[in-house]
Structure 1
């Protein structure tokens, strides 16, 4: 399990399929609100609090998407309290929202994932092929070189369905990176600061 705070009220948690298997949870079971999934969720929240100081206070939005070979990415967002609503009312609304399932395939509070993700590539040819495949999606990207690997930063406001599709394509040739945007900008070498997909496709035709 890996936790990253991406905003004041938002964390991203990566759970590998090995993590799920160790807990006796199969890939389809995570979309159901069973006891194992509930235990996993509270373990995630405890880890988020211990590692990055993210604490649940009031209602939250939970959305997740899977990557074929990597695992599950869960984004948890704290929702601002509704003016005039009591804490009991907010808690009741939160309980109702989570009664059916903890991990929603659809966006919760926000309709778009204003987040970022980093994928790592050891083979430049794989990176070139991925860029050609993703070009029609017109997403904002930057390319860095860090620790002998090419790190592709995807920073765009995509809906959950497009995030999952883009992540699925990327995971076929690369892997989710532990590097954050701040680390790449400070310690990595900036190869292409913006419009990396377009630049690579133009310079390296298939």
Structure 2
């Protein structure tokens, strides 16, 4: 976990998946502002106070989710004074922490998964089907490309708040070597790769080959 001070009233927090796991928090509960996520925010605020002199006593907090990709979650916390806000003295007390959480964007812009052969891709899609994981629940578009004899499944507009998204991620490593791809690679793939299935690739693979 990394904390950066942007201004006197704003900090940015970069949280990795392992930070979530070490605090026994899954992404779905985190977004829903569970008690566990409140505890993690308290830990963040205490660390920011000690390391960056970012003191939130007497302030309201606005927590904004700006982006999430490759199991990395980025937030900003802005402190501000509201005349209707009753000052609290101890941020280590859960009851005194008043957070208004505003989500700017819960969507991953893109996720690309590579498969060395079509059999691995089919087995992956079939496992999703057998475990009743409907990719449409968290992904607005998924397409399939072939580039340099490797199959690439492109997922776009992924809703990370859906619980099936985490289940989906847990199966990827069984069939694919997870890699992080840049936006430039997406452009390269769409320009030079062969488009196999434009929309609903996972569903069509299951329907045609099962």
TM-score, normalised to structure 2, is 0.49
**2:22 corresponding residue in structure 1:** 28
Deviations 1:166-204 (A, max 9, x none): 111222211333334333212322111111012211232
Q: Is the 1:62–1:74 Cα contact (8 Å) retained in structure 2? A: no
**2:121 corresponding residue in structure 1:** 127
Among 173, 179, 184, the alignment partner of 1:177 is 179
For residues 121 and 14 of structure 1, the distance between their equivalents in structure 2, rounded to whole angstroms, comes to 28
Q: Is the 1:59–1:78 Cα contact (8 Å) retained in structure 2? A: yes
Among 187, 199, 204, the alignment partner of 1:199 is 204
For residues 99 and 120 of structure 1, the distance between their equivalents in structure 2, rounded to whole angstroms, comes to 44
The count of corresponding residues between Structure 1 and Structure 2 is 144
Gap change, CA 1:88 and 1:27, over 3 Å in 2: closer
Gap change, CA 1:156 and 1:169, over 3 Å in 2: farther
Q: Is the 1:112–1:157 Cα contact (8 Å) retained in structure 2? A: no
| C-alpha displacement of 1:64 | 7.1
Gap change, CA 1:203 and 1:15, over 3 Å in 2: same
Q: Is the 1:142–1:192 Cα contact (8 Å) retained in structure 2? A: yes
Gap change, CA 1:14 and 1:154, over 3 Å in 2: farther
TM-score, normalised to structure 1, is 0.50
**2:28 corresponding residue in structure 1:** none
Larger Rg: 2
Partner SS for 2:71: strand
Asked if 1:61 corresponds to 2:55, the answer is no
Asked if 1:168 corresponds to 2:161, the answer is no
| C-alpha displacement of 1:110 | 3.2
| C-alpha displacement of 1:26 | 11
For residues 156 and 92 of structure 2, the distance between their equivalents in structure 1, rounded to whole angstroms, comes to 32
Q: Is the 1:151–1:177 Cα contact (8 Å) retained in structure 2? A: no
Gap change, CA 1:27 and 1:157, over 3 Å in 2: closer
Compute the RMSD of aligned alpha carbons.
4.5
* Gap runs ≥5 in structure 2: 1-13, 26-39, 49-61, 83-90, 94-100
Q: Is the 1:118–1:152 Cα contact (8 Å) retained in structure 2? A: yes
**2:74 corresponding residue in structure 1:** 76
**1:154 corresponding residue in structure 2:** 155
Partner SS for 1:141: strand
Q: Is the 1:142–1:154 Cα contact (8 Å) retained in structure 2? A: yes
